[in-house]
Amino acid sequence: MDDYYGPFTSEREKEVLGVPLRLVEAWARNDVDAVVDVFTKDGTLILPGDVYKVGRDEIRPFLAAAFAGPFKGSRITGKPVDLRIVTDTVALIRTHGGILAPGETEISPELAVRSTWTVKKEEDGVWYLAGYQNSPRGTGATLRW
């Protein structure tokens, strides 16, 4: 697990980077509710193909359809490449990763992404995903939802 954190090894950095880890773990189970619970109540999800969802109530049915259809049995993976703690309660994370199709161990070029995560520490002391956006990485990448 320590190889996930790369150069971001302080306890605070690891706490912030727990947000992508929670999402990866929930996605691996294709657990819609657990994925959605990583987001703040008014979190945003922006993906290629004009996907723009605001709030858990919009994100949940979108992900349920994805897990029932094209991303059934898929997993996501990635590594942080940049981390900026902006305030005591806001941080920005940039990761490189993508979606692993069922049975795959390497990300195919069309499913590789660069992602930006805006995370926020809420009143309960837990970091949540306030905003997530990704874009295809590499030539020929055509990720569509």
| CATH number for position 128 | 3.10.450.50
What is the per-residue pLDDT for 145?
47
Query: What tokens appear for 92 in the block?
Result: 């920005």
Indicate the number of domains in the chain: 1
pLDDT at 93 exceeding the cut of 90: yes
Cα–Cα separations (whole angstroms), residue 17 to 20, 87, 124, 139: 6, 15, 17, 28
What is the per-residue pLDDT for 11?
96
pLDDT at 94 exceeding the cut of 70: yes
Quick: pLDDT tens for 8-66.
999 999 999 999 999 999 999 999 999 999 999 999 999 988 899 999 999 999 999 99
137 versus 129: the higher-pLDDT residue is 129
140 versus 5: the higher-pLDDT residue is 5
In a domain, 141, yes or no: no
In a domain, 142, yes or no: no
Cα–Cα separations (whole angstroms), residue 115 to 92, 99, 136: 10, 12, 9
- 145/126 Cα distance (integer angstroms): 29
Q: Count CB-CB contacts under 10 A for residue 62.
A: 16
Q: Residue 65 sits in which domain range?
A: 2-136
- Nearest in space to 74 (alpha carbons), one of 38, 133, 28, 35: 28
In a domain, 35, yes or no: yes
- The mean predicted confidence, pLDDT, of the chain is 93
Mean pLDDT, residues 74-94 taken together: 97
pLDDT at 1 exceeding the cut of 80: no
Q: Is-above-0.85 flag for pTM?
A: yes
In a domain, 81, yes or no: yes
Write the DSSP string, 74-129. -EEEEEEEEEEE-SSSEEEEEEEEEEEPTT-SS--GGGEEEEEEEEEE-TTS-EEE
What is the per-residue pLDDT for 42?
98
